[in-house]
Amino acid sequence: MTTSTTDPRLLVHAYVDGELDPANALELERQLANDPALAAERERIEALRRTIAERLPREAAPVGLARRIEAAVGARPAPARIASHPSWRALAASVAVAAFLGSGATWLALSPAPADADMIVANHVRALMAPHPVDVDSSDRHTVKPWFSGRIPEAPRVVDLSNDGFALVGGRIDVIGRTPVPTLVYRVRQHLISVSALPAGRAAAMPAEQIAGYDVVSWTDDGVTYWAVSNVAAADLNAFVKAFRAATPEGATPNPSH
Amino acid sequence: MVSLSSEDDQARFASVVLPHLADAYALARWLTGDRADAEDVVQEACLRAFRGIGGFAGMNARAWLLTIVRHAAYTWLGKNRSASLLVVDDLEAVERQQASGASAFGQEPQTPEAALIAGADARRLEAAIAELPVPFRETLVLRDVQGLDYREIAEVTKVPIGTVMSRLARARRRLMQRIAEGEEKAGS
């Protein structure tokens, strides 16, 4: 939405929905500060959204519906098909994995502690279930980064990826083991992506994997290992990682316009 | 030609359509206003989705399914509740006229405090949403109940993003007024 001539009473809805681009959002914030009637409207919209989200009864699809539809198209749910074929191959594979794990502690020492990936997923899941997935709630990286600076020794690299379709939601501090770790949260469509930044010495990046249905991707740049976790499509997560790595960090803008 | 017994299609259907069945049912229920009718609409939509599954190119599965559900619901409404499908242009013109009339007489429609909205009764809220004209209702449900973003709603309802925004604003405004009216009645 880029029309700054549109009625602010209309735009305030897009603002509350996080649909305004940064320039228009800034302009609207200025108007909100100067116009109590508009600010009251914003509060009403937010109250209405909360009320709908919290009070309106949700109804699951009737139990029989999925079965009738599956019967109509002859499709069975995917998991049942897998479960119905416990094969010797799966058994052989698990033996092979056990043998591989048992073959030496070197493999374990060189690979990242698997627990890190688990904890990163756990932090992401917990954030999704909490009332707020972030501790600092801002789409402005110039707000998010200083927030970290006041709390942990090293603030993470915060990049603006809104042009790539990934809106910054904010940041939070997760704890991995006993280490407080900065985590940024981005949104693509309705999904959140958490990116945690760990000192590279702690754990090497590892191949992409799936844990509990969440895709986890990690990579190392400039001595920092990043872990991105989300339930977006794998292609979206890869696009995110690519955009994140390619983005110019703040302070190194090639064309400083202001 | 799509073969009905294709294992591939069935697997795709199970992974693309079935995860969004609850959303499909919810939208159908909000549009038809009836549980049994919503089931019929969803079943019809799923059959269409299955026939079209080969053409699904891995975009947003939920928005794709909801588009089909909406279409099936409109077909159903056309057959059974044709009066509810007022032409939107007429509707929006009437609204504008009413709004300008009200402000000309210095009577802004009443707007409740945020606290009043926050305390609104769930049943009354549900009834107020059900009373919204279909184009406003579907926009509000897709956004505030199902959490789609404007682009997805524009895709599902086949209107420009600017229209999504204005319909959403109208829908929310109406709900606020209904809540205020309800409180007034309850209080008197």
What pLDDT, in 10s, does the model give residues B67-119?
999 999 999 988 887 666 655 555 666 555 555 544 434 345 567 788 888 88
A63: closest chain B residue by CA: B22
Beta bridge partners of A196: A183, A227
| Interchain CB distance below 8 Å, A73 and B47 | yes
- Contact criterion met (CB < 8 Å) for A61 and B143: no
pLDDT in tens, A57-91: 877 888 889 888 888 887 554 443 333 333 444 44
Instruction: Report pLDDT for A101.
Output: 42
Q: What are phi and psi of A234, to 5 degrees?
A: -55, -35
CA pair distance B135, A49, nearest whole angstrom = 18
SS3 A40: helix
Extract the residue ranges of chain A whose pLDDT is less than 70: 1-5, 75-115, 201-208, 249-258
Buried/exposed B27-58: b ≥16 CB within 10 Å, e otherwise = bbbbbbeeeebbbebbbbbbebbbeebeebee
Cα–Cα distance, B182 to B101 (Å, whole number): 23
**Nearest-neighbour CA in chain B from A189: distance (Å):** 6
Tokens of B42: 């969803």
What's the pLDDT at B14? Answer: 82
Residue contact B14–A77, C-beta within 8 A: yes
- With vertex at residue B69, the alpha carbon angle to CA B65 and CA B70, rounded to the nearest 5 degrees, is 115
> For residues A197 and A176, is the Cβ–Cβ distance under 8 A?
no
Evaluate if residue B129 carries a pLDDT over 80: yes
Chain A hits for B35, Cβ within 8 Å: 62
H or E, element range at B19: none
Q: Give the per-residue pLDDT at A114.
A: 53
* pLDDT, average across residues B158-180: 92
CA–CA distances in Å: residue B177 to residues A100, A133, B88, B125, B145: 67, 32, 21, 11, 19
Kindly report the nearest CA distance between residue B114 and chain A, in angstroms: 4
Query: What's this model's pTM, rounded to 2 decimal places?
Result: 0.57
- Rounded Cα–Cα distance for residues A137 and A169 (Å): 6
Contact B165 A10 (CB under 8 A): yes
> Which one-letter amino acid corresponds to residue B80?
N
According to DSSP, the residues that pair with A175 across neighbouring strands are A180
How far, in Å, CA of B133 to CA of B139, rounded? 10
Question: Which among B105, B86, B104 has a CA at the least distance from the CA of B94?
Answer: B86
Out of A13, A52, A70, closest to residue B168 by CB? A13
pLDDT tens-digit map of B16-59? 888 889 899 999 999 999 999 999 999 999 999 988 887 777 66
Residue among B10, B148, B172 whose CB faces A75 most closely: B10
Inter-chain touch B145–A60, beta carbons under 8 Å? no
Please give the distance of CA A205 from its chain centroid, rounded to a whole number: 18
E strands, chain A, are 136-137, 167-176, 179-188, 191-199, 209-211, 214-221, 224-230
Look at B117 and A48 and tell me if their CB atoms are within 8 Å: yes
Q: What angle do CA B127, B131, B132 make, to 5 degrees?
A: 125
A225 within 8 A of A196, measured Cβ to Cβ: no
∠B158-B129-A51 over CA atoms, to 5°? Answer: 110
User: CB–CB of B42 and A65 under 8 A?
Assistant: yes
* ipTM of this complex prediction, to 2 decimal places: 0.85
Which residues, 6+ apart, have CB-to-CB distance to A66 below 8 Å? A77, B18, B21
From chain A, the residues in CB contact with B162 under 8 A are: 1, 3, 6
- What is the pLDDT at residue A35? 95
How far is A9 from chain B, CA to nearest CA, in Å?
8
The pLDDT score that the predictor gives to residue A155 is 85
Residue A2: what pLDDT?
A: 47
